[in-house]
Chains A and B, each alone.
Chain A
Amino acid sequence: MSDRKEVLCIRCPKGCRLKLKIGDKVVVEGQECKLGEEYGRKEASSPQRVVPSTVKIIGARYPRLPVRSEKGVPMNKVEEVIDELKGVEVIAPMKKGAVIVENVADTSVDIIAERGMEVQE
């Protein structure tokens, strides 16, 4: 059984449209250089994405604190990560880089604060 997928190569500004056939082995088509083939294989086997979002913050200048996954999480976990952040609430002050959620959605990746926020009335 093989799965088909189309992705846009992001290794250079050309942005080739790659066709991936994912089965026992991965076949990449549509690339115009070796980088594209390498990228296509990675995308087929374990695509990862950094997830940016926000969480509720109490007592700060804005009602939302920007957060992100500290590194890429498997792409099929992105929506689970977002769902887990929905109920999260933190209280100002908050330091930049503070861990907001550990091991989010069982990915072994932490969610961190993108910026600091002081207490503000």
Chain B
Amino acid sequence: MKDVVVIGGGPSGLAAASSIAEKGYKVVILERDDELGGLLQQCIHDGFGTILFDESLSGPEFADRFIEKVMRSDVPIELETYVKSVDKKDDHFELLTVTPEGVHKIKSRSIVYAIGCREKNRFEIKIGGTRPAGVYTAGTVQRLVNLYGVLPGKNPVIVGGGDVGLIVARHLYLEGVDSLFMVYPEDFFSGLPRNAQQCILDFDIPYRNRTTVKRILGDKKVEGVELVEVDEEWEMIPGTEEIYECDSLILSVGLIPYSEKIEDLGAEIDEETKGPVVNEYYGTTVDGVFSVGNLVQIFDYVDDAVKTAYIVAEGVDKFLKGIDVKRKKPIKLVPGDKIDTVTPQRIFYEEGEEVTVFFRPGVEKENAVVCLVNLGNVIKTYRKRYLRPSTLEEIKVPKDLFNGKKEVTIRVR
């Protein structure tokens, strides 16, 4: 019997496994790929680690810090291991895994899910038209270009101005596509400003805002797209359609936590984050099941995602020790005016000094005041120099602030 199974060998899973092992527990990491590091192995640009290490590392370099740490510990790593199913028993979980050698059973007292997120596809954003070859998600293109040296086409269109799209645009430009065009429905790139500058503006890559792809054209291969202008609500404006010739379409239309598996186990899912509802130690609503990293919500910085892994180690420790100082009813933390998401969504434990709370603003605002509100009364305020939806914010909330409350709302004044 294991104490903890960590599912997923990306940065959050690796950090969680080594932090939990440091507390003396029997941990194993299960990874479906044949190497560790997760998504970071294909993120070859720099800018990772500026918060945690005060250095600007590439994805593989950042991942290696955590891979080395796990390698130096005695945590076993099972590669090419896919978790087929998980059964909750009275006092443990039974995992059925599939590996090249066959099907195996693993018993564990607790599970940390670190299985990240996936990319949205064309159907989730309702792009019509034919279904030819040459339609890719940005992450797939990143993998093709950076690991295999294969370009998706000679004149691609990228739809979506988020971080992955911006970074892929730079790779494609530098690796030598003939032409490149980016369109996005927002007024301005939705990715981090530094990516907009370093990836698009630096190289004068053409782009158009308030524009999206209505239809894909082409029989066997992509021959073009029908572009259309959109208004502030992202509604298509009739009569603004135009055909743009291209040989491939790259979708950078957002990431979504890969939460189907954990939902099957009975964990409550947050409608806003699309990830599991978690408490301040990243426990889900199923006892003994924890969740970290991009599965909880989409983080802008891997550094922040990894922070959740350090915090989960404390939660797993409390669970395995059977420390039960939980409140009878957890306090709810909910997003209010001008806030899109908040994690954690529940405050379970009475002890502890402060809670690290992440929230995504729903608005762009300078010199903003962020308020914690209970029953209409402001109980604490935080000043933020500049809020924007593309940047996830963090605040530290003193634990005793929650005493005697049922619900605390975070809003922007």
**Do B149 and A66 have beta carbons less than 8 Å apart?**
no
Known interface pairs A62-B147, A115-B61; 4 further A-B residue pairs with C-beta atoms within 8 A, sorted by A's residue number: A13-B192, A13-B388, A54-B149, A67-B44
Range, interface on chain A: 20 to 34
Q: List B residues at the A interface (Cβ < 8 Å).
A: 34-35, 41, 44-46, 56, 58-61, 64, 145-149, 171, 174-175, 192-194, 196-198, 201-202, 366, 385-388, 390-391
**Do A114 and B385 have beta carbons less than 8 Å apart?**
no
**Do B391 and A13 have beta carbons less than 8 Å apart?**
yes
- Minimum CB–CB distance for A17 against chain B, Å: 9
A49 vs B193: C-alpha distance when bound (angstroms): 15
Q: With a CB–CB cut-off of 8 A, which chain B residues contact A68?
A: 44-46, 58
* Contact of A12 with B by CB under 8 A: yes
Residue of A nearest to B361 (CB): A13
* Contact of A22 with B by CB under 8 A: no
Q: Which residue of the partner chain, among B44, B148, B171, contacts A63 with CB atoms under 8 Å?
A: B148
Q: Which of B41, B45, B148 has the most CB of A within 10 A?
A: B45
A17 vs B46: C-alpha distance when bound (angstroms): 23
Q: Which residue of the partner chain, among A32, A54, A61, contacts B44 with CB atoms under 8 Å?
A: A54
Q: Which of B61, B145, B391 has the most CB of A within 10 A?
A: B61
* Contact of A31 with B by CB under 8 A: no
Residue of B nearest to A13 (CB): B391
- Minimum CB–CB distance for B38 against chain A, Å: 13
Sorted nearest first, the 6 A-B pairs with minimum C-beta distance are A15-B193, A115-B60, A10-B194, A66-B44, A8-B197, A14-B386
A14 vs B385: C-alpha distance when bound (angstroms): 8
A15 vs B189: C-alpha distance when bound (angstroms): 11
Q: With a CB–CB cut-off of 8 A, which chain A residues contact B61?
A: 96, 114-115
A47 vs B90: C-alpha distance when bound (angstroms): 61
Residue of A nearest to B143 (CB): A62
A43 vs B196: C-alpha distance when bound (angstroms): 15
Q: With a CB–CB cut-off of 8 A, which chain A residues contact B60?
A: 66, 96, 114-115
Q: Could you pull out 21 A-B pairs where Cβ atoms are within 8 angstroms?
A: A6-B201, A8-B193, A13-B387, A13-B390, A14-B366, A15-B197, A51-B174, A52-B58, A52-B171, A53-B174, A62-B148, A63-B147, A64-B146, A64-B148, A66-B44, A66-B58, A68-B58, A82-B175, A96-B60, A115-B41, A115-B61
Tell me whether A49 and B202 are in contact in the complex, defined as CB-CB below 8 angstroms, given that A12-B386, A63-B149 are known contacts: yes
Residue of A nearest to B196 (CB): A8
